[in-house]
Amino acid sequence: MDSVQSRFTQLSGALSRQIIGQSQLVERLLLALLADGHLLVEGAPGLAKTRAIRELGKRLEGSFHRIQFTPDLLPADLTGTDIYRPQDGSFVFQPGPLFHNLILADEINRAPAKVQSALLEAMGERQITVGQKTYHLTDPFLVMATQNPIEQEGTYPLPEAQLDRFLLHIRIDYPPVETERQILALARAEAVAGIGTPGSASLEPEVQRLSVADLHQARQEVFALHLADNLEEYLLQIILATRRPQPYGDDLAGAIQYGASPRASIALDRCSRARAWLAGRDYVSPEDIQNLAFDVLRHRVILSYEAEAGGMTVDRLVGELIARIPVP
């Protein structure tokens, strides 16, 4: 294992010790970082979503900023705005919180559409436009947005164009009892050490921060990882089946209103390579593609009214497609 992979292994281990019981969240965070994409996390309050990206920020060269989305938020609260200077009559651009490396968009669906749309250009093109000027964002730039699935009042569903810009959409659940016992032990240890307040120290031994140069090297290795031609065809067939599922069963005909966009193909390709690289392999396996298909497609496929009325879910549909599409 080379040095860059070793550093990512150390990073994964350090995050797992601080974010107990959410191994999938830790892995997906690293996949988003390696694949240069954004993450949408859905889960009940208290499941370490905020803690996860904050701990990642401590171990990555760059800056972290949390944005609490509320109904009264304005687009300029994200992007920044031109400030008038009366002493010389000029305008000076004051950057907003999007000019950080790691962004936590907490409860993103609590802000109205005009605020959510402020993220579209930032997430898609890594730049923002204020007035007549365009400003490039910092590199790396990763948005982890959270939304609470149990509250609907006072929320604004994310538009499809916004959802499509997220590399992955993951759902996390409550930990089992043994894991929760470990969480209690960690919380007690932190309380005894006086941890838990902003700027406090960590129980975790000092971990070398991952540099931007290391991240760029890791991404180059990930994108160069071998993907066999037959596996690439398998990946594409999964995506195409979300647009035309009829060949895989009459029961799936008419189940989909809109299939996944080409962004889904790119996301599944990049994330499959990143997962294989994190595992120390120099090739992508069918299991990498199957494992990530749910998180890549969950927010990109829109079911028909008839399918939803019949109890179909996107996860169930993706599971059926994976079971029916021949594995090379």
- pTM metric for this prediction: 0.88
pLDDT under 70 in the chain at which residues?
A: 1-2, 150-154, 195-207
- In the prediction, which pLDDT does 1 show? 46
Name the superfamily (CATH) of residues 3-199. Answer: P-loop containing nucleotide triphosphate hydrolases (3.40.50.300)
- In the prediction, which pLDDT does 198 show? 47
- In the prediction, which pLDDT does 272 show? 97
The single residue listed with the structure tokens 């687009």 is: 75
Please name the residues in contact with 144: beta carbons below 8 A apart, sequence gap of 6 or more: 29, 32, 38, 39, 40, 41, 49, 52, 53, 102, 103, 104, 105
Please name the residues in contact with 302: beta carbons below 8 A apart, sequence gap of 6 or more: 160, 256, 257, 258
SS3 readout for the chain: CCHHHHHHHHHHHHHHHHCCCCHHHHHHHHHHHHHCCCEEEECCCCCCHHHHHHHHHHCECCCEEEEECCCCCCCHHHHEEEEEECCCCEEEEEECCCCCCEEEEECHHHCCHHHHCHHHHHHHHCEEEECCEEEECCCCCEEEEEECCCCCCCCCCCCHHHHCCCCEEEECCCCCHHHHHHHHHHHHHHHHCCCCCCCCCCCCCCCCCECHHHHHHHHHHHHCCECCHHHHHHHHHHHHHCCCCHHHCHHHCCCEEECCCHHHHHHHHHHHHHHHHHCCCCECCHHHHHHHHHHHHCCCCEECHHHHHCCCCHHHHHHHHHHHCCCC
- In the prediction, which pLDDT does 120 show? 83
Where are the chain's structural domains?
Answer: 3-199, 225-324
Contact 227, 284 (CB under 8 A): yes
Looking at the domain 225-324, which fold is it?
Helicase, Ruva Protein; domain 3 (1.10.8)
Report pLDDT digits (tens) over 54-90: 888 888 888 889 999 888 888 899 999 888 888 888 8
- In the prediction, which pLDDT does 313 show? 93
Start-to-end CA distance of the chain, whole Å, equals 28
Report pLDDT digits (tens) over 108-147: 888 888 888 788 888 888 998 887 889 999 888 999 998 8
- In the prediction, which pLDDT does 51 show? 87
Q: How far apart are the C-alpha atoms of 35 and 33, rounded to whole Å?
A: 6
Give 220's Cβ-side CA count (13 Å radius): 7
| Residue-level length of the chain | 328
